[in-house]
């Protein structure tokens, strides 16, 4: 096929506009009918290896967190044999894929973005609402908007990356070729953001890598919808292979494989450390050093100075801690409040929390929905009961839960005067916020405590009206968060605007959606070409006087 003589350019993208789903809106009626359509029929989800649907007969179910007896789908699960098949499919696809002109590759992902934002918007949102228990707004900002944003910003950044070229001197032409990695990339996604399935697979794939994708068992339903959209956009067979199933069966085969070229992971710190250990133990067996990119847990904070606006703090606490039931890596889960502000702030919080409705996302008036599954429910309830019994903590809001129909936990606030109380330090991943009350004159000392209390360093906020208080917080908390907010909640990072990622135990901080992330999936080759090569080995300095 003839190739077009052109240096393709991509316009800087805009973030996808969020629809409101307000009462009487067209999108509200459309999402409602998609929800009832999806609820009314159970689908069967195969593996997709080399473009082929594979049914193993070993199945599991996609359940609805807010109605856990309801099955949306049965899905086939992969084991070691299918994992090995996927490596073969990735190997087979990668030659043609890597050789395809980059503009053609990117066109597929730009098209996928438009399919997600356009004709499949309701489908991907409804799948996320039902399968992962998100209200419509949380699904819209994740599944539709962030997915489209990831694809568009990555494509734009890839074009910028390819444009980064070395200088050349007289008689020489230097070029940098951004080769894909030699081998496959293993993408492992968590349950809590549909868009992360896009991020983890598309970033390596659009640069010419072949990918094997293991979605979370609790997000297979929306992930499968996404996989079908990729194919509809023209993704060639085998470029992304869809491999749901138990990590214990799939992980070892892929992680120890000599052709493993990279792991693109988002999930818990514990699992990422396991992956790193496995790769470390087998380091002599790989063809190339596998790139390890992981964004993991958080213990995100809201730190409040006495000069802050209490109303703004209360809103940030409620939205930051309880949206999507606190199941965001960025969710506010500890707050440092000056004692002088607590009485008034507490009244505001109790009033807001008292008005929050908890229930299924199909009822649009519910702000808080169910947590993802039984294991999450039990773990979160364990923390609540620990706090209830602890002599040095008090539950001032919520603390109740009910798992008869769905895994519902009411927004809960714990107050403690112990800065290293268990729920101040450990990731809970549920609608539980712990407040530490500090003496107003111990601002700097308490900032130091905040910095040192947890191993994580993902997100955090400072609320203050006095500039000097902000200056001090920025300095003391310099390594406490990869995403730092001033007078705003620590959640809701937008692709292209607040590049996301944390350090310390929170991850490798490769900033999803940016050029920094893309750099991890290429292995540049430098090419020097000399137009008129030297014909004599001797240099002029060797000439006789």
- Chain contacts with ligand NAD (rule: CB under 6 A): 188-193, 214, 216-217, 247, 251, 266-268, 271, 274-275, 295-298, 329, 427, 429, 458, 500, 506-507
Q: What are phi and psi of 210, to 5 degrees?
A: -100, 140
| 285-310 b/e (C-beta count within 10 Å ≥ 16 → b) | ebeeebbbbbbbbbbbbbbbbbebeb
Cα 387 from chain centroid (whole Å): 29
Closer of 43 and 247 to ligand NAD (Cβ): 247
Closer of 487 and 503 to ligand NAD (Cβ): 503
Q: CB of 199: closest distance to ligand NAD in angstroms? A: 9
Comparing CA positions, the residue from 375, 73, 82, 88 lying closest to residue 243 is 82
Query: Residue 305 in contact with residue 341, Cβ under 8 Å?
Result: no
Contacts of 185 (CB under 8 A, 6+ apart): 204, 205, 209, 210, 211, 212, 261, 262, 263, 264, 291, 521
Task: Answer yes or no: 284 catalytic.
Answer: no
DSSP 437-489: EE-GGGHHHHHHHHHHH-SEESEEEEE-SSHHHHHHHHHHTTTT-SEEEESS-
Q: CB of 106: closest distance to ligand NAD in angstroms? A: 24
Strands 67-76 and 59-64: antiparallel
| Packed helices 102-117 and 147-162: angle between N→C axes, nearest 10 degrees | 160
Q: CB of 367: closest distance to ligand NAD in angstroms? A: 21
| Both structure tokens of 76 | 């086939």
Q: C-alpha dihedral over 364, 369, 372, 373, to 10 degrees?
A: -120
Q: CB of 329: closest distance to ligand NAD in angstroms? A: 3
Closer of 190 and 399 to ligand NAD (Cβ): 190
- Residue indicated by tokens 């405590």: 449
Q: CB of 171: closest distance to ligand NAD in angstroms? A: 48
Closer of 216 and 453 to ligand NAD (Cβ): 216
Q: C-alpha dihedral over 254, 256, 258, 262, to 10 degrees?
A: 60
Q: C-alpha dihedral over 196, 201, 206, 207, to 10 degrees?
A: 110
Residue nearest to ligand NAD (CB): 267
Task: Answer yes or no: 295 catalytic.
Answer: yes
Sign of the Cα pseudo-torsion (414, 313, 356, 327, in order): negative
Q: CB of 434: closest distance to ligand NAD in angstroms? A: 16
SS3 522: strand
Closer of 275 and 395 to ligand NAD (Cβ): 275
Q: CB of 461: closest distance to ligand NAD in angstroms? A: 16
Query: Residue 254 in contact with residue 185, Cβ under 8 Å?
Result: no
User: Using CA atoms, how far apart are residues 235 and 239, in angstroms rounded to an integer?
Assistant: 7
Closer of 85 and 457 to ligand NAD (Cβ): 457
- Residue indicated by tokens 């980064």: 164
Q: CB of 266: closest distance to ligand NAD in angstroms? A: 5
Helix segments in 2-79, DSSP class H: 26-40
Active-site option among 329, 362, 427, 450:
329
Q: CB of 366: closest distance to ligand NAD in angstroms? A: 22
| Both structure tokens of 73 | 């789908």
SS3 38: helix
Q: What are phi and psi of 223, to 5 degrees?
A: -65, -40
Closer of 125 and 192 to ligand NAD (Cβ): 192
Active-site option among 295, 323, 362, 427:
295
Phi/psi region, residue 371 (left: phi>0; alpha: psi -120 to 50; beta: rest), is beta
User: Using CA atoms, how far apart are residues 140 and 134, in angstroms rounded to an integer?
Assistant: 9
Q: What is the number of H-type helices and E-type strands within the chain?
A: 17, 23
Closer of 126 and 271 to ligand NAD (Cβ): 271
Q: CB of 428: closest distance to ligand NAD in angstroms? A: 10
Catalytic residue ranges: 295, 329
């Amino acid at each position: 096929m003839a190739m077009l003589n052109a240096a393709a350019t991509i316009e800087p993208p805009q973030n996808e506009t969020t629809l409101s789903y307000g009462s009487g809106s067209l999108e509200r009626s459309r999402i409602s009918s998609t929800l009832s359509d999806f609820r009314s029929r159970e689908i069967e989800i195969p593996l997709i290896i080399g473009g082929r649907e594979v049914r193993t007969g070993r199945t599991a179910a996609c359940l609805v967190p807010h109605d856990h007896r309801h099955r949306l789908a049965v899905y086939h699960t992969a084991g070691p044999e299918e994992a090995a098949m996927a490596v073969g499919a990735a190997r087979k696809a990668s030659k043609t894929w890597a050789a395809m002109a980059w503009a053609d590759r990117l066109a597929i992902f730009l098209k996928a973005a438009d399919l997600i934002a356009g004709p499949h918007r309701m489908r991907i949102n409804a799948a996320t609402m039902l399968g992962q228990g998100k209200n419509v707004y949380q699904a819209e900002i994740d599944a539709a908007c962030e997915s489209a944003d990831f694809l568009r910003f990555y494509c734009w950044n890839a074009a910028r990356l390819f444009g980064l070229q070395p200088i050349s001197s007289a008689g020489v032409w230097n070029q940098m070729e951004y080769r894909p990695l030699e081998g496959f990339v293993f993408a492992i996604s968590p349950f809590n953001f549909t868009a992360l399935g896009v991020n983890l697979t598309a970033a390596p794939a659009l640069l010419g890598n072949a990918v094997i994708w293991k979605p979370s068992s609790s997000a297979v339903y929306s992930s499968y919808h996404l996989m079908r959209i990729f194919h509809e956009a023209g993704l060639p067979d085998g470029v992304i292979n869809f491999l749901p199933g138990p990590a214990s069966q799939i992980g070892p085969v892929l992680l120890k494989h000599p052709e493993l070229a990279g792991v693109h992971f988002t999930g818990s710190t514990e699992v990422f450390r396991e992956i790193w250990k496995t790769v470390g133990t087998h380091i002599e067996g790989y063809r190339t050093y596998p790139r390890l990119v992981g964004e993991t847990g958080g213990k995100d904070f809201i730190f409040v100075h006495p000069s802050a606006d209490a109303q703004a703090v209360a809103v940030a606490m409620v939205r930051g801690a309880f949206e999507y039931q606190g199941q965001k890596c960025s969710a506010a889960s500890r707050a440092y409040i000056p004692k002088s502000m607590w009485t008034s702030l507490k009244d505001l919080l109790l009033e807001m929390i008292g008005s929050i409705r908890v229930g299924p996302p199909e009822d649009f008036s519910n702000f808080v929905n169910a947590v993802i599954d039984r294991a999450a429910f039990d773990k979160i309830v364990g923390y609540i009961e620990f706090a209830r019994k602890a002599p040095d903590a008090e539950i001032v809001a919520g603390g109740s839960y009910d798992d008869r129909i769905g895994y519902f936990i009411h927004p809960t606030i714990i107050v403690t005067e112990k800065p290293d109380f268990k729920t101040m330090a450990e990731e809970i991943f549920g609608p539980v916020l712990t407040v530490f009350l500090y003496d107003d004159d111990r601002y700097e000392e308490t900032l130091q405590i905040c910095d040192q209390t947890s191993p994580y360093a993902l997100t955090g906020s400072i609320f203050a009206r006095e500039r000097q208080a902000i200056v001090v917080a920025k300095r003391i908390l310099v390594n406490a968060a990869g995403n730092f907010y001033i007078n705003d909640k620590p959640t809701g990072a937008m692709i292209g605007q607040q590049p996301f990622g944390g350090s310390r135990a929170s991850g490798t901080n490769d900033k999803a959606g940016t050029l920094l992330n893309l750099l991890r999936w290429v292995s540049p080759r430098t090419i020097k070409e000399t137009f008129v090569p030297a014909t004599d080995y001797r240099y002029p300095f060797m000439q006789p006087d």
